[in-house]
Amino acid sequence: MKFLVTKDLEYSTLIKNLMAGVVFALFFFFLLDVVLHSYVLGLDVSTLSTTLFGNPDEFIEPILLDTLLLQVHIDLFMALFSIMIVASIYIRLHSKKVMTKWLVHALFILGLFTPILLLVAYFTNVWFVTIWLVTFICGHLLAMWMSLLSLKKLLSK
């Protein structure tokens, strides 16, 4: 993480290019994570409710608890790991902006609560499914937006 120590990216094109590559890859990670969750769980309230709670009329079983716990475990690890990288690069490049602190805090809160809300939704009701869906989409959009802003700044230097 030399980019956190080196203040001037003007003289370090290799570090700048490596940071741009990481941010580019993380942008696609967040995009493909939405696609994965859409395929595995669903990205609308009815599909997600059917996945979590099942549907006796259509003979659809609910998702197994161990499968859901595995998904939540992977989501917590990957979300916080990728958010940490995006946030550290964003802070490094946009430290003078007033909104940086608020954006980073919002990103970490959304990234932490999204997997937990999925687990809460499994044990409660459809209302938490809607909250999970909103936090999931907002968190991923925020991470992709911060990635694009970082990428724009890295490529403009």
Residue spans per domain, the chain: 40-156
Structure confidence at residue 2 (pLDDT)? 53
Structure confidence at residue 12 (pLDDT)? 75
Structure confidence at residue 65 (pLDDT)? 94
> Would the pTM of this model clear 0.85, i.e. be above it?
yes
Please state, as a whole number, how many other Cβ atoms lie within 10 Å of the Cβ of residue 1.
9
Low-confidence stretches of the chain (pLDDT < 50) are none
CB contact at 8 A, 149 and 94: yes
Structure confidence at residue 28 (pLDDT)? 96
What is the radius of gyration, based on Cα positions, of the chain?
18
Structure confidence at residue 96 (pLDDT)? 86
